[in-house]
Structure formats: C-alpha cells, structure tokens
C-alpha cells in the first residue's frame, strides 16, 4: 500500500481518498488528540478496522493529510518574484492566499490546529523548508524597500500580516458566519478589496 513498487488498485485509490477527505474534516476540527479513528471511518463510510487496513496507525493518517497540504502552503509565497512589480506581486499574493482560504478552509484549519498543538509533526518543515523560503522572500521584500518601492517595514512581519489576514477567513469562518450574512463570494470579494487596498496603500511608495 505505501510500497512504491506495488500498484495501487482501484479500490485502494478510492478508499485512501475517502479516508484522507474524512480525516481532513475531522482533524481540522478536533485536532489530532480530539479525533478518533472511528469518527474518521464513519465519515469515510467504512469500519475502523477497514480504515486500519489502509493506514496502519492513526498517526499515519494524520501525517498523510498534513503532507497533502504542506506544499499548498509553500507555493504562493514561493511565487513572489523580485524582478517584478511589488504592487502586482503583493496583490497576487493576497489574492492567491484568499483563494486558498476560500477553496480549502479545512486545510487552513488543519495547519492552524497543528501549530497550536505545538507543531509536533511538522517542526522540521517549519525550521527547514518554510524558514528558508521565508528568509528568501524577506530578502525580496527588503530589496523592494531598498529600491524605494516599498515603505521601510519589517519584511517578516508584512508576511505574517498577509498570512494572518487571509487565513483568518478560513480559520475563523464560524465566527465570521455569526457576524455577517454575506454570501461566501461577497465575503471574499470584500475581503480581497479591503485587504489589498489597505496593505498596498500601507506599503507602497507613491
């Protein structure tokens, strides 16, 4: 099943997918400790023992789901291009992050949950891949600042600000739904407009 030399059968592919979907739902809501194998199995429409035929332990399911979302997390930031216009780059970055939040809020919440639990499973990812990428992109932002294209802000904190304000719509969706009756599309449209205008007006040099 996790052997690279074995073929994945039709049933395996289907069931693994079902399990990962169900697991994403449950882990993103209740975290690792708060989610039971039975919950995931029920959501995936199978028995617990059946689920454990495909993934040996609860931990393996969790890691598989986490791994399935981590590349998504790196990708938008990796796109920030030093040689392009900062206004366009930052606007695109905010857009992409909001699109992610809208299209896969559970992934955002899973990530948030993992971080709040102290990131037991992804500490290497944070300290290596993410750290390297963030440092690289801080240099991009600093380059723009040094060239007089952006106001002198702390690059890392600008990145945090964009992460925070775009992910918020996914992570705190329950709160937001209690506060507004806007449709999803209107909500994200207004978010995009507001965040872009404030961030860009706040960092661009005229």
If one asks whether residue 35 binds a copy of itself (CB under 8 A), the answer comes out as yes
What does 2 interact with, of a copy of itself, DNA, none (CB < 5 to 8 A by kind)? none
Select 13 or 190, whichever has its Cβ closest to a copy of itself: 190
Tokens coding 63: 């890691």
Tell me the CA distances in angstroms from 92 to 12, 26, 85, 192, one per residue in order.
Answer: 38, 31, 11, 10
Q: What share of the chain is helix, strand, coil (3-state, %, to 5)?
A: 75, 0, 25
Q: Give the position of tokens 């216009």.
A: 85
Structural tokens at position 88: 């366009």
Is 115 one of the binding residues for a copy of itself (CB under 8 A)?
Answer: yes
> What whole-number distance in Å separates Cα of residue 8 and Cα of residue 28?
27
Tell me, by CB under 8 A, how many residues bind a copy of itself.
56
Taking the least distance from each CB to DNA, the nearer of 13 and 198 is 13
Residue numbers at the binding site for a copy of itself (CB under 8 A): 28-35, 109, 112-113, 115-119, 123, 126-127, 130-131, 134, 151, 153-154, 156-158, 160-161, 163-165, 167-169, 171-172, 174-176, 178-180, 190-191, 193-195, 197-203
């Amino acid at each position: 099943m996790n052997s690279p030399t074995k073929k994945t059968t039709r049933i395996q592919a289907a069931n693994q997918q079902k399990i990962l979907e169900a697991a994403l739902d449950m882990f993103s809501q209740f975290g690792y400790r708060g989610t039971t194998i039975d919950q995931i199995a029920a959501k995936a429409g199978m028995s617990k023992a059946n689920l454990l035929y495909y993934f040996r332990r609860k931990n393996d399911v969790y890691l598989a789901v986490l791994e399935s979302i981590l590349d998504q997390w790196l990708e938008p930031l990796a796109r920030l291009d030093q040689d392009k216009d900062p206004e366009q780059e930052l606007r695109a970055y905010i857009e992409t992050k909001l699109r992610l939040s809208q299209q896969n809020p559970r992934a955002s919440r899973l990530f948030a949950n993992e971080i709040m639990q102290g990131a037991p499973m992804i500490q290497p990812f944070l300290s290596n891949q993410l750290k390297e990428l963030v440092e690289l992109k801080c240099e991009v932002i600093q380059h723009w600042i040094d060239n007089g294209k952006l106001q002198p802000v702390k690059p890392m904190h600008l990145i945090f600000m964009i992460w925070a304000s775009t992910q918020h719509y996914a992570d705190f969706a329950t709160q937001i739904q209690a506060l507004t009756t806007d449709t999803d599309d209107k909500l994200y449209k207004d978010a995009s407009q507001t965040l872009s205008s404030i961030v860009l007006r706040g960092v661009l040099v005229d």
